[in-house]
Structure 1
Amino acid sequence: MFKKASRKHRARTYLISVPAALLAGLVVAGAAFTAPLFGADAATTTATATQAAASSTLWSTQLKWDDNGAAWSEASFAALKAKGLEQAEIDMSWNTVEPAQGRFDYTELDQEIANANAAGVHLVLIFWYSGWNGSPASWVTSHETTASGAQSATPAWWDRTDEPAYLAYVTDTVKHVAGEAGYGGSVLDYGRLDSVWDSTVSGQVDGWAQADVDEFHNVYLPQTYGSIGAFDSARKTSYTSFAQVPAATPGQPLAAVYQLFRLWSVQQVYGQLAADVRAVTASTPLYFYFGGHVGNFANYENVPEVFFALAKKYDVTVVQDCSESTGIDLLFASLGRAYGVNVATEWTAPSDSTQLAAQAVQWIGNYPMMLPEGGGTDFFIHDGTQKDTVAYPIYTAWLGHLKGLSGSYPQQPVAVYLDDSLAYGSTSGGALGAPENGIASLWDGYQAGFSVVTSEEVDTGIVKLAQYRAVLPINGVDANLTAYRNGGGHLLTAASQLSTYAPAYATLAGSGVLQIAPVVDAARTGAQLTLADITSGAAYDGPVTVSPAGLGLAAGTYHLVDATGQAIPQVAVAGGLCASAGVPAASLAEWSVVAGAAPAGTPTPAGCGTGTPPPSCGALTANQQLTAGQSVTACNGGYKLTLQGDGNLVLSRSGTALWSSGTAHSGATRVVMQGDGNLVLSTGTGAAVWSTRTATHSGAYLDVQNDGNTVLYSAAGASLWSTGTAGR
């Protein structure tokens, strides 16, 4: 079926107009600058009735464009339906659908949608500007340029022909299929795959094509500053025209200006895509892909708040495709709740095939974090390779459980704070190397319902820090945190302090093996628990204590049941309900917390409540720490364990050293008795320089004894490590 395009060229609509009067409010601190572009509703296109479209939940897998040159058959889709999948996504081939500019061939696409519909599956179309087979179309000739001047295979972002041609291709295709019964929505992408300004040139980013530079000079700068005089005043420069302002590369003066232009470009094009499609159909489910990690925010300019603001405006679900990262999942779950936007999660197979099952389990096990804004799950990609053999059965076997989740991930009044201002042009913002790893590590040892809040959310009024009893910075203290502290908020300095303000919902016998993600029902009288062993070879066989208070349940009596509704062996302890979990490596289990006492005769499990309590003095217990200059002293006052200012951990008697960690001049600034039983000495950046190597012993504690020995004991009282200094 061939169609001519309804429009070959369209008038461009600029979504953001910054009046010159606003320039007086620009914040300038040296080279640091934040343009007032990225508020909660920064895209200001006039709202229309098309914005009332309802989002759908994605229970899906991806497919290639077709089955080796032929349309996917009804039988192919029926096989997916039999596994519980409700949608399938296909990676669109721009070249096939639009073989010549303005001439569309929908023959194969229509057949695939019809075949999907016959099998009871809805087909979701993934539109790519570049990076997937068949995209860009062969007639697209422009090329991006990297900061170093190298040519990229990605078409130029602001090319005057290719950019409007892509928008027309997406919009006209959606208009064509919107009424077809098997059509299930569209994923809107631009730039390089879902990584926005990423480049095909290894280790570089795009954004310096001549078309981009022209847009910078002719549109962005005049629209943002109004006059070159206003620009000079804000930037302490002396240019006489916008054309003289350099398209600065990273590390050069005014690099932040061009960085903000590239971020503005993301907002412009993604906003235009969503607005155009919503003008065609109000009801089609729409999705934005988010690819990359926190470390990419300031170079790919894929900052999530821009996507979430647009998603809120145009009723779009955000698909987070880095769900192998628990830290990213926690961040996006919090963003979804803050913006009121659904978040779907996608799993991408690891390069290490031995981790396929473990990572798939982690992805599935993390999904409850997204609720109540859960947008579903997507398996990437169903293509007959090893991940289909190993991971796909795990996913499809657990789909029924995922679909049955109802309620919300528990929320406590504590937050982890991520300063992401570096992605918004601030040269003094916190480092964005890999803070998600720190967030994940924190959650591994402290399974609690804390939020992750970004500086941009606070700057734009999406989140108010005052609602939290305590806040822990993950990458530095900025003006927002200083104001929070000055206003009476509790600004924490160590992860171990969080539990003072909010209880964990689950305590495990060690971190890094088992994780638990709960969903609490709307009445707060019960919870569904997803237990996930996220290792490739270590089964979890130990106690789990579930805290009704940490879950935020209403006051009352509760007990634990398994997936069949039968009470499991358990006992009420001071921290909640203790049970023994036996979860094989790389597998999932389901428990529930239900109202009422456990049935009479419920067995008491081994490992619950049998430990020897730590002493009231001379001890470091789970998640307690020493910072430089601090000590813990034996109960008789004769022995002292001190973290010296030079980074050495020293046990002494009357000033004489008896033992040390041998870490002088290592940069170590704190020693933590971790919840997993490991005593770890680390630097200010979190790098470990020494440990007792006693992880997987939850409840362990360190005792500076009266006899001169310092011993690390298990919760059951067994010696795990010592300084060997008894009697000295």
Structure 2
Amino acid sequence: MRISKILLVAAVLLILIEFTPPVHGESPPMVWSTQVPYLNPSGAPHDFKYFMDIKELGFNTIFLTVPWGAVEYGPNEYDFHVLDQYMNYTRALGIRVILVFFYSVPAATGDFNATPPWLINNGELEVNSNGHPQSPPALAWWNETDRQYYFGFIKTVVSRYVNYSNFLGVLVDYGWLDDDWGPGVNGLPPGYAKSDIVMFQHWLMQVYHDNITLLNMEWGTDYRSFSQVNPPTLPFIGDWRYFQEFRVWSINETYSELFSMIRSIIGPNRLLLFYWGGSIDDIYSLQMPELYFQLAERYNVTIVLDDADWTNFAVFFGNLARVYHVHLMMEWTPVPSSSSYYGKYISHLILGYPWLIGGDYYVFIRSLDWFYPTVQLNTMATGIYELINGTYPSTKVALLYMTMFGGTYSDWRYLVHETGLIPTSLFNVNNEYAYYPFNIITVNELAAGLVNLSNYRYIILMVPEKLIPSSVRGIINQWRSRGGVLIPFNSNWLSSGLGGALSGIEEPVITTNASVEAFPIINNDSVFLALNNYGNPLNTLHVNVNLTALGLRNGTYAVINLNGGDLINVTTGGLASFNINLYYTQSAVMVGIIPVNPVNIIVNVSSVNASYNYDTGVFNININGLISPKGDYLIIALIHPNLTQAGMQFTSNGLVYESVAAGEATSNGGYFTINLKVPMYQLMLNSYTLVLNVYVISDGYVINGESYLLNVNLNSTLTPYGWVPSVTGVNLSKYAVLIMAKPPPVTTTTVTVPVNLTTTVTTVVTTTVVSTVVSTEVSTLTSTIIRSIIPESTVVAITVGVIVLIIIVALIARTKVK
């Protein structure tokens, strides 16, 4: 009996043992940031809770504006009290910080001390040819005293914080905000401050080897000295071309000095960013993208694309990033009056791959009507774009772009034309809308040997051939002698677009029944597709994706709406066809087309926790589970509201459907944990049903997919701030099998297992019990596999306990027989 008691105690202990799943690490996140002003709207520093809310909203990084005049209140006199406080707050919260510096004017942040008053009042200001200063004022580009003050300011601040654990990098600009030379004054370009003109004359001395006769022979002038040479007062007249070349040289010289100085402090690999914003064809500010990509390649600089909702900008920048190997961040300023911006920004993020490192949201001083829709899109973007990767489809067609600085009016007009020719939507060809893959290459890339023309069969000229330098025409002619086909510029394209030219030489990889934006990327045998309809609702968009033309092998593919994870279709062969709806405001959908190879595994969602943060309007949902048999799997969880809740389309003025979230985890010994942030700030009901879709991926294949209904119950409590909702319970139930290997015959019953997770949240999970009978020659063993909230470790303990009890009973029976 002593042995029996010992065995009985051992069995009970095995049943009661709690097996804690091992903690697994996460890969470093991408940069998802919001811009933070130096002070709040009342002029006071932000408190700790302000940064807590930023973290709660899903941002892992902030762009922290460092207004020059507020920190350096006098020459070499600094006040670091506020910055020290912010760096300590964010370090405690695990928020990374990018310090932002502007040479002139407030960065539209409300920080009106961006330029020190002691410099504005005493320094030299930038002016146009009539002597009128820019507004807001900007310091003269080539005033050496002011310039060194700025460099010294950056050096002092960065050196102070570079060793903080949450210091991520530096974003720096020079000149007038992010327009550099500025937008012009009264229709005239800037660059006519006294120090600018003196430097222009020095630059000419270098170009003409201090020989004024050489300049006179080329210009047809009779200057006696370089000090007599002044820049032309109007664009496109006189020697305007040389003045433009001088301003280009000024950008290269200044940023080379600035980037080199910062790199000497932060090292070669920390983030150094440049903020590009403006117009590709702006001859006043010289915001010519390729000029900055060349600098970025030299100094390992990440370019932040302002106005990423502009399609031709995003397309062009994505192409430049791939050739120059420069990282991109996409920046967006929400504009609630035009919903087209929402969907376009989200879908344009895909154009940055494979060089995309994240997104930046300019939302910090916006009203709630601006802020919360933006947060919803941020949550959607960060979750979904963390899941995907890839590169642009291969193509045999290149569009040749020529960067011009507007030396003549004719050049400038062609620059405007070729910018407008960059394809931004599907082409209407033969009564369907088609997407043809293409790359943009540039004249400068060819001249520098960065492009291998043997990769292309066709080159389409976006400007007349006569404008292309003779050296580059020689490269193109060599390519043509080897069978390349050159398609000359056609002025009819300015009205009709390039659809006719592309449709005659390239095979469409996407076709639809409506004119939308569609951008694909390829990752091994998967396709990720971004669709948007400029903010307009669209029911039943029919899409065909030619997988064969994209270079994917034949097989079975799952078409998944990544905005929530619904399985749209399972298709075989070389064509993936599906229907999808684009909803109001969002009008942007990410679709994944992923190969399928079902495997017999058991996905056990063991627990779900939920909480609601009233300040930020975000549901935090934590999902824990395990997979049997154990292995290293990639688990993807996607969630969205039930659109028909309460018997009506549940869109809450078009925003709640965008309350989607996505997360992923790699299982460790079968265990996984996924955290989701679901923004739903307009809570009108006491209970919400969310659709949770879980997919398991192994070696690039979807091997399992299941759908659950997650019911979240709420209760509101009256506080000094009004009625504040909180989660009182969550209920998870199996909804549907999406992808699964054909199981053996089973007998199915249903049980309900309540589990108290916390003092405020109770989870009730509907579970399925599958009984399988295994026969052998010796005995019959019945095993129970519980697909529920019961962990696998507990199932093992119960099984072992039962076996031990059977042995005990056998021993007792044997003793009695004796």
TM-score w.r.t. the length of structure 2 is 0.61
The question of whether the paired residues in 1 share the 8 Å contact of 2:331 and 2:362 is answered with yes
Matched, 1:279 2:256: no
2:35 aligns to what SS in structure 1? Answer: strand
Deviations 1:607-655 (A, max 9, x none): xxxxxxxxxxxxxxxxxxxxxxxxxxxxxxxxxxxxxxxxxxxxxxxxx
CA separation of 1:594/1:404 partners in 2, compared to 1, >3 Å: closer, same or farther? Answer: closer
Q: Offset at 1:464?
A: 4.6
Q: Once superposed, what is the RMSD of the aligned Cα atoms?
A: 2.7
The question of whether the paired residues in 2 share the 8 Å contact of 1:184 and 1:285 is answered with yes
Q: 2-side partners of 1:157 and 1:235: how far apart?
A: 26
Deviations 1:297-327 (A, max 9, x none): x221122222112211211100010212111
Deviations 1:665-708 (A, max 9, x none): xxxxxxxxxxxxxxxxxxxxxxxxxxxxxxxxxxxxxxxxxxxx
Give 1:360's aligned residue.
342
Unpaired runs of at least 5, structure 1: 1-54, 600-728
CA separation of 1:597/1:474 partners in 2, compared to 1, >3 Å: closer, same or farther? Answer: farther
Q: 2-side partners of 1:381 and 1:278: how far apart?
A: 29
Give 2:303's aligned residue.
318
Matched, 1:75 2:49: yes
2:441 aligns to what SS in structure 1? Answer: strand
Give 2:484's aligned residue.
489
The question of whether the paired residues in 2 share the 8 Å contact of 1:502 and 1:550 is answered with no
Question: Which amino acid letter does the alignment assign opposite residue 473 of structure 1?
Answer: L
Deviations 1:218-263 (A, max 9, x none): 2x12223313244344444443322222212313211111111111
Q: 1-side partners of 2:39 and 2:445: how far apart?
A: 41
2:171 aligns to what SS in structure 1? Answer: strand
The question of whether the paired residues in 2 share the 8 Å contact of 1:198 and 1:204 is answered with no
Q: Offset at 1:547?
A: 1.3
Q: Offset at 1:115?
A: 0.8
Matched, 1:227 2:210: yes
Q: 1-side partners of 2:473 and 2:413: how far apart?
A: 14
1:417 paired residue among 377, 397, 400 = 400
The question of whether the paired residues in 1 share the 8 Å contact of 2:322 and 2:354 is answered with yes
The question of whether the paired residues in 2 share the 8 Å contact of 1:542 and 1:580 is answered with yes
Q: 2-side partners of 1:443 and 1:242: how far apart?
A: 53
1:323-722 matched pairs, under 5 angstroms: 323-350=308-335, 353-355=336-338, 357-385=339-367, 386-423=369-406, 428=411, 431-433=414-416, 435-441=418-424, 443=426, 446-477=434-465, 478-479=467-468, 483=474, 484=476, 487=481, 488-492=483-487, 493=490, 494-511=498-515, 514-521=516-523, 524-535=524-535, 537-554=536-553, 558-563=557-562, 567-569=567-569, 576-587=575-586, 588-595=588-595
Q: 1-side partners of 2:597 and 2:60: how far apart?
A: 39
The question of whether the paired residues in 1 share the 8 Å contact of 2:68 and 2:114 is answered with yes
CA separation of 1:550/1:423 partners in 2, compared to 1, >3 Å: closer, same or farther? Answer: farther
Unpaired runs of at least 5, structure 2: 1-27, 107-111, 428-432, 491-497, 600-818
Matched, 1:65 2:38: yes
Give 2:197's aligned residue.
213
1:243 paired residue among 218, 223, 227 = 227
CA separation of 1:528/1:131 partners in 2, compared to 1, >3 Å: closer, same or farther? Answer: same
Larger Rg: 2
Question: Which amino acid letter does the alignment assign opposite residue 300 of structure 1?
Answer: S
1:504 aligns to what SS in structure 2? Answer: coil
Question: Which amino acid letter does the alignment assign opposite residue 389 of structure 1?
Answer: Y
Q: Offset at 1:593?
A: 1.6
The question of whether the paired residues in 2 share the 8 Å contact of 1:359 and 1:534 is answered with yes
CA separation of 1:411/1:594 partners in 2, compared to 1, >3 Å: closer, same or farther? Answer: same
CA separation of 1:429/1:69 partners in 2, compared to 1, >3 Å: closer, same or farther? Answer: closer
CA separation of 1:62/1:578 partners in 2, compared to 1, >3 Å: closer, same or farther? Answer: same
* The 10-residue stretch of structure 1 (143-152 or 487-496) with the greater mean CA deviation from structure 2: 487-496
Question: Which amino acid letter does the alignment assign opposite residue 160 of structure 2?
Answer: H
The question of whether the paired residues in 1 share the 8 Å contact of 2:520 and 2:527 is answered with yes
The question of whether the paired residues in 2 share the 8 Å contact of 1:422 and 1:430 is answered with no
1:288 aligns to what SS in structure 2? Answer: strand
The question of whether the paired residues in 2 share the 8 Å contact of 1:533 and 1:584 is answered with no
Give 1:653's aligned residue.
none
Q: 2-side partners of 1:427 and 1:248: how far apart?
A: 17
Matched, 1:162 2:162: no
Give 2:275's aligned residue.
289
Give 1:16's aligned residue.
none
The question of whether the paired residues in 1 share the 8 Å contact of 2:99 and 2:170 is answered with yes
1:338 aligns to what SS in structure 2? Answer: helix
The question of whether the paired residues in 2 share the 8 Å contact of 1:422 and 1:431 is answered with no
CA separation of 1:103/1:292 partners in 2, compared to 1, >3 Å: closer, same or farther? Answer: same
Q: 2-side partners of 1:456 and 1:503: how far apart?
A: 28
CA separation of 1:326/1:550 partners in 2, compared to 1, >3 Å: closer, same or farther? Answer: farther
Deviations 1:554-601 (A, max 9, x none): 46554523437665246668x8221111221332333222225999xx
The question of whether the paired residues in 1 share the 8 Å contact of 2:556 and 2:572 is answered with no
Identity %: 24
Q: Offset at 1:200?
A: 6.8
Q: Offset at 1:111?
A: 0.9
Q: Offset at 1:147?
A: 2.8
The question of whether the paired residues in 2 share the 8 Å contact of 1:442 and 1:495 is answered with no
CA separation of 1:581/1:199 partners in 2, compared to 1, >3 Å: closer, same or farther? Answer: closer
Q: 2-side partners of 1:358 and 1:254: how far apart?
A: 42
Q: 2-side partners of 1:579 and 1:369: how far apart?
A: 22
Q: 1-side partners of 2:80 and 2:69: how far apart?
A: 11
The question of whether the paired residues in 2 share the 8 Å contact of 1:323 and 1:346 is answered with yes
1:10-89 matched pairs, under 5 angstroms: 57-67=30-40, 68-89=42-63
Deviations 1:173-215 (A, max 9, x none): 1111111223221111011110111147354331010100011
CA separation of 1:222/1:346 partners in 2, compared to 1, >3 Å: closer, same or farther? Answer: same
1:123 paired residue among 94, 97, 102 = 97
Question: Which amino acid letter does the alignment assign opposite residue 139 of structure 2?
Answer: P
Question: Which amino acid letter does the alignment assign opposite residue 471 of structure 1?
Answer: I
CA separation of 1:313/1:482 partners in 2, compared to 1, >3 Å: closer, same or farther? Answer: closer
Q: 1-side partners of 2:274 and 2:426: how far apart?
A: 27
Give 2:255's aligned residue.
270
1:421 aligns to what SS in structure 2? Answer: coil
Q: 2-side partners of 1:183 and 1:401: how far apart?
A: 26
CA separation of 1:405/1:468 partners in 2, compared to 1, >3 Å: closer, same or farther? Answer: same
Give 1:184's aligned residue.
168
Give 2:80's aligned residue.
106
2:449 aligns to what SS in structure 1? Answer: coil
Matched, 1:303 2:293: no
* The 10-residue stretch of structure 1 (287-296 or 451-460) with the greater mean CA deviation from structure 2: 451-460
* The 10-residue stretch of structure 1 (401-410 or 209-218) with the greater mean CA deviation from structure 2: 401-410
TM-score w.r.t. the length of structure 1 is 0.68
1:204 aligns to what SS in structure 2? Answer: coil
The question of whether the paired residues in 2 share the 8 Å contact of 1:72 and 1:115 is answered with no
The question of whether the paired residues in 2 share the 8 Å contact of 1:189 and 1:289 is answered with yes
The number of aligned residues is 534
Matched, 1:135 2:114: yes
Question: Which amino acid letter does the alignment assign opposite residue 526 of structure 1?
Answer: S
The question of whether the paired residues in 1 share the 8 Å contact of 2:236 and 2:409 is answered with no
Question: Which amino acid letter does the alignment assign opposite residue 136 of structure 1?
Answer: T
Question: Which amino acid letter does the alignment assign opposite residue 36 of structure 2?
Answer: L
